[in-house]
Amino acid sequence: MCKNLNLLTANTILNGKNKWYLIASILFLLGCQPSSNKNSFNPKSSVIPMPTLLEKKEEFFEAKFLNTKDDFKIREFELFKKQLKNYFPKKTIFSKSTSSKNFEIKIDETIDEDASFYELSIGQEFIVVKGGKKGVFYGLQTLFQLIVLNYDSISNSIRLPCLEIKDQNSFEHRGFLMDCCRHFFPLKTIKKYIDLLAIYKMNVLHWHLTEDQGWRIEIDKYPKLNTVGSWREDSTGKYGGFYTKKEIREIVKYAKERYIEVIPEIELPGHSQAAIASYPFLSCESKQIQVANSWGVFKDIYCAGNDSVFIFLEDIFQEITELFPSNRIHIGGDEAPKFRWENCEKCQKRMAQENLKDEHELQSYFIERIAKDLEKKNKSIIGWDEIIESKINSDVTIQSWRGFSGGIQAVKEGKKTIMSPTSHCYFDYDINSIDLEKVYTFNPIPSEIDSLESELIIGGECNLWSERIPSEKELDRKTFPRLLAMSEVLWTYRKDKFENFQNRVEDHYPVLSRLDVDYGIESSPVRLSSKINNRKIKAVVNSKIKNLEFTYQWNNEEAKPIKKNGEIEIPKSGKLTLQAYKNGKKYGDQKVEKFAVHLGLNSNIDYQYMYSLSYQAEGLSSLINGRLGSLDFKDGQWQGFSGKNLDVILSLDSLTSINKVSMNFYQYINSWIVVPSYISIMSSKDSLNWEIIKSVDSIGEIRKRGKFISSISFDSLETDAKYLKIFAKNYGKLPSWHEAAGAESWLFIDEIIVE
């Protein structure tokens, strides 16, 4: 005989009110197992996000089918049935057979419909889900996870671990930003992600719909936004598209059914080149420009001195607010260069009329004017943290992306804040910059604020800007498994040990595969460190990921196996290629690293100006460790100097005959990284008397777009020296033609090679 389930009560949580209303029952054909067989089944309870309270028991529940009455109708349950049918398309999950009642959904009408609290009880005879409507929905999502986590372990029945769960959210805003402007995703992809967000209890789709590279929403009053602004010419030809109002309503409805709020982002005053390309009168110069076909920050933004711009935006928001029921609209406000405003007669006149001291206050005026218009439409605005660079009086929510500082300032000013710093939340960043563990360490509440201020932090958000996400496959790889960590941070907040979380993620990979998610890797599978002794380098292979095997290849030699923590001797300058394997299959991309064995290895080095802590590479040893950087300037080998020169002295072991000194510099003008404008090398035998042995005025053209490495080599030096002084002059302020004119440039270097 199966034991009866003692149902959880909700008296304490429901303020003593226990008025439960039976909504429906699902009938199961029972096949409860005697306790003697319990060891034949290893039940999984790897729920993500981790419930607030979960008590697991030794017994388990087993049933042949899920059974429902024909007259059973409730939206939350219909979605649950559809999920199971989609997950198991070739298996019979539901049956119309009748039997003793053993599954109940109970909705308490005393609970706020928007409350996320739920209870889930699984016993040997009964499954019960309790809560308000939203809570029941989340309870069914947890049950869905448990079913799919355990279903494949058997062939003909459903087995679940007996457990009791009490669960509710920690943060009210659990967001996912989807950029459909840089690359355009079809409705099918957006719906797939809404389903995934719901399963993992995320509740906000931040839908980025307007940009320099494309206007993605149908607007009736301004049709050129779609005939012109929704399309760009790039290397693939004409690229773009937009969502019709019918499609927008379809997505909003689909999300609402799954308790997900869709917040549109309509960028202003910057990131507006697609709109200006459609209607040139919106800009300061009123000149015809093209929809942007490259990435970056552009000078042409909405003119703040032209009232026609505000009439245009009021019209836009009238149509936007009719489509989106959310009481929040994201207006961007980030990366708005002030160059056009500084040289615009209309903008300068506006500043004088409104008694504004600078262009930052002019941006605040712009934001305030839009905020007041939206207030009339019963909407409040969200903006990126740039909008508080001067005072904002309106009721705004700040989304802090440039670290935590903008959010800290906002809460201290009494404003609600969403935390999404680049350090933890930018999933378009490479896995080397933000891996699964990095996301899991994210704490939306910084230590610098007090308990009252922390109440203003309403949650967090993971952002996926799609410049380099051209397909659903790449979107999947960037999002998962990192979204699992973000969902737990924002729902549970109380952290599990990362190793335990990692084990639960491992259980979800088959689930994601069946949900058509082409997930990526947790972390860079191969991590190299190095040891230097007597100018000899040994590379040490390591990894944060469990159960990997490795091969390595030196230059063009045959690949050889190597174990974790194994050492590879680097005999000379050359290229090392490593590949990780998991379960016999390649795991992640190859890691290729170039080494330079030279006379300056492991020398003493003194810096006149210190490198930036944001790009410190391996610190003081970076320029003399023999490891060269790749085209990824975030690979950990490039050392960066912001607004400072490179000025270092190498102290060699003894007086050395030197014939050649070479080095690599990086350029990527879109990220303000520029090759130096002047380089010199000085030598000394005693560190007191110096002579310039070579210099060069320029090594590249800073107008050149793209990412590339410029190598500079000083040959035929024929000098004896113990000390070398390397000086490279940072370019300085970016020139007027650059989108961020006047900003300080960066200088990046990877190694000083002495031969």
Helix H, strand E, coil C: the string for 9-64 is: CCCCCCCCCCCEEEEEEEEEEECCCCHHHHHHCCCCCCCCCCCCEEEEEEEEEEEE
Average pLDDT over residues 549-571: 93
Same domain, residue pair 730 and 583: no
- What CATH number does the domain containing 543 carry? 2.60.40.10
**Residue 48 within a domain:** yes
Q: Residue 77 maps to which CATH number?
A: 3.30.379.10
pLDDT at position 32, please? 38
* CA-based nearest residue to 261, from 175, 337, 184, 191: 175
Calpha distance 4→24 (Å, rounded): 20
Q: Are residues 692 and 606 in the same domain?
A: yes
Three-class SS state of 247? helix
Q: Residue 77 falls within a domain, yes or no?
A: yes
Tell me the two tokens of residue 371. 């905020």
Rounded distance, CA 433 to CA 523, Å?
9
Picking from 552, 577, 595, the residue at the C-terminal end of a domain is: 595
- Answer whether residue 326 is part of any domain: no
**Residue where a domain terminates, one of 167, 198, 224:** 167
173-229: pLDDT as tens digits: 999 999 999 999 999 999 999 999 999 999 999 999 999 999 999 999 999 999 999
26 and 161, same domain (yes or no): yes
3-state secondary structure of 597: coil
Can you list the alpha helix ranges (DSSP code H) found in 43-166? Answer: 75-87, 133-151
Is residue 88 located within the same domain as residue 142? yes
- Structural element, H or E, at residue 273: helix 273-278
Judged against a pLDDT cut of 70, whether residue 71 lies above it is answered with no
Residue 725 forms part of a structural domain: yes
Same domain, 540 and 633: no
Amino acid identity for residue 6 in this structure: N
Considering the domain architecture, whether residues 126 and 161 belong to the same structural domain is answered as: yes
Q: Are 606 and 577 found together in one domain?
A: no
236: left (phi over 0), alpha (psi -120 to 50) or beta: alpha
| Least confident segment among 106-110, 252-256, 428-432 | 106-110
State how far the Cα of 235 lies from the Cα of 273, in Å rounded to an integer.
Answer: 19
pLDDT tier for residue 480 given thresholds of 50, 70 and 90: very high
Has residue 201 been placed in a domain?
Answer: no
> What's the pLDDT at 30?
37
The tokens for 639 are 């050392």
Q: Is the domain of 612 the same as that of 735?
A: yes
Q: Minimal CA–CA distance to 737: which of 296, 335, 402? A: 296
Q: What is the pTM of this model?
A: 0.85
At residue 338, does pLDDT exceed 60?
Answer: yes
Residue 177 lies in a domain: no
625 and 534 in one domain? no
Report the distance separating Cα 130 and Cα 108, nearest Å. Answer: 7
Residues 570, 628 share a domain: no
474 within a domain of the structure (yes/no): no
Q: Which two tokens stand for residue 240?
A: 């773009």
**Distance between CA 359 and CA 524 in Å, rounded?**
43
> What average pLDDT does range 129-146 have in this prediction?
95
Domain region containing 550: 524-595
Tell me the average pLDDT of the chain.
90
**606 and 673 inside one domain:** yes
pLDDT digits (tens, 9 = 90+) for 149-168: 987 655 567 889 999 999 99
Question: What amino acid is encoded at 131 in this protein?
Answer: G
Inside any domain, residue 648: yes
What contacts 15, CB < 8 A, 6 or more positions away?
110
Closest alpha carbon to 262 in 188, 347, 348, 175: 175
Instruction: Report d(CA 209, CA 217) in Å as an integer.
Output: 6
Domain co-membership, 591 together with 668: no
CATH of the domain at 726: 2.60.120.1190
Number of folded domains that form the chain: 3
The tokens of 368 are what? Answer: 């305030």
Quick one: how far is CA 453 from the chain centroid?
Answer: 25
- Boundary-marking domain end, from 147, 167, 187: 167
Question: For 657-697, what is each residue's pLDDT tens digit?
Answer: 999 999 999 999 888 999 999 999 999 999 999 999 999 98
